[in-house]
Chains A and B, each alone.
Chain A
């Protein structure tokens, strides 16, 4: 522990430029995507207006998986290198992943209400899977807050890896169970989307990805700043 806290405390600790750049990119892309989704994209013939939820809903869903993948890879890198920056990346990615998964559940639930008249549909594998995913990753913070020091970082990394293994298992088990009981309810979009919709979906996807990276970078800057500040305080107190 003590070796890794101070090793990069000196030069160019904060490095806030990436956060700034990604913040600008995310803002622009999210604005463009919102305008496109609401004003430009054509109305869906079958589903009407509520199909517009799909653009951000599915984009956020995909990006939340990206976030958990990033957390897993960062966890592996942390266990390999024991560099604090990988723990930072891992915990931040999990946090944003949970935020995005919660958004997936809420928007999916609104969609369910709009199309089927109920807020929750157990037959919809996507809602159910994301509920399980949120439960899996919520436990990450329970675990993290109840271990100390060196072990906290190690266990967080292990759990980020285990969690990401559990995700496809939950995905698959829910789908298998569903396919025996009902046909999968909405795989909407997908291949049969006209190009005029596909382009806005792709822009939404890029926007959400940029939003994820921007939030990640901003929070990483925050964590690095806090750490640099702690190191500074320690130095001042000891001097």
Chain B
């Protein structure tokens, strides 16, 4: 067994870390999309509340 193990570990750690960071970045984008969807849902709810008089609808 020769030395240099720490270099191998460092190299693979860097690979794992950067790929994970990239995936986290993708996840952050998905989260942003999720927030936008929530905003749209709220907007729709508000619209529905405004257009429908208090009685509401039935079936």
Interface residues of A (CB under 8 A from B): 34, 38, 43, 48-50, 52-53, 56-57, 60, 96, 99, 102-103, 106-107, 110-111, 113-114, 211, 215, 218-219, 222, 225-226, 229, 232-233, 236
Q: Decide: A50 and B8 in contact? CB cutoff 8 A.
A: yes
In the complex, residue of chain B having the shortest beta-carbon distance to the beta carbon of A228:
B33
Q: Is the Cβ of B7 less than 8 Å from the Cβ of A110?
A: yes
Binding site for A on B (CB under 8 A): 1-5, 7-8, 10-12, 14-15, 18-19, 22-23, 26, 29-30, 33, 36-37, 40, 43-44
Q: Which residues of B contact A229 (CB under 8 A)?
A: 33, 36-37, 40
Contact (Cβ within 8 A) B43 A49: no
Q: Is the CB of B3 within 8 A of A222?
A: no
- Nearest residue (CB) in B for A44 is B2
Complex Cα spacing A113 to B36, Å:
47
Quick one: which of B1, B2, B36 contacts A233, CB cutoff 8 A? B36
CB pair A222 B12 closer than 8 Å: no
Name A110's closest neighbour in chain B (CB-CB).
B11
Q: How far is the CA of A50 from the CA of B22 in the complex (A)?
A: 26
Q: Smallest distance from the beta carbon of B51 to chain A beta carbons, Å?
A: 11
Interface residue from A111, A218, A225 paired with B7 (Cβ < 8 Å)? A111
Closest residue of chain A to B36, judged by CB? A229
The answer to whether A236 touches B40, judged by C-beta atoms less than 8 angstroms apart, is: yes
Top 10 A-B pairs, shortest CB-CB distance: A48-B2, A114-B7, A50-B4, A107-B11, A53-B11, A110-B11, A49-B4, A52-B8, A114-B4, A49-B5
Chain B residues whose C-beta falls within 8 Å of the C-beta of A48 in the assembled complex: 1-4
> What is the CA–CA distance of A236 and B22 in the complex, to the nearest angstrom?
33
A120 to chain B, nearest CB (A): 15
Q: Which residues of B contact A226 (CB under 8 A)?
A: 29, 33
- Which residues of chain A have C-beta atoms less than 8 A from B11's C-beta? 53, 56-57, 106-107, 110-111
A107 to B16, CA, bound (A): 11
Q: Is the Cβ of A49 less than 8 Å from the Cβ of B8? A: yes
Bound CA–CA A111/B4 (angstroms): 9
A57-B11, A110-B7, A229-B36 known, 8 other contacts, Cβ within 8 Å? A38-B12, A49-B5, A52-B8, A211-B19, A226-B29, A229-B40, A232-B40, A233-B40
Taking a contact as CB atoms under 8 Å apart, the answer to whether A34 and B22 are in contact is no
Partner of A222, one of B7, B29, B43: B29
Inter-chain contact A222/B33, CB cutoff 8 Å: yes
CB nearest neighbor in A for B29 = A222
Interface residue from A49, A96, A99 paired with B3 (Cβ < 8 Å): A49
Q: Which residue of B lies closest to A96 (CB)?
A: B22
Residues of B within 8 A of A102 (CB): 18
A215 to B4: give the CA distance in the assembly, Å: 31
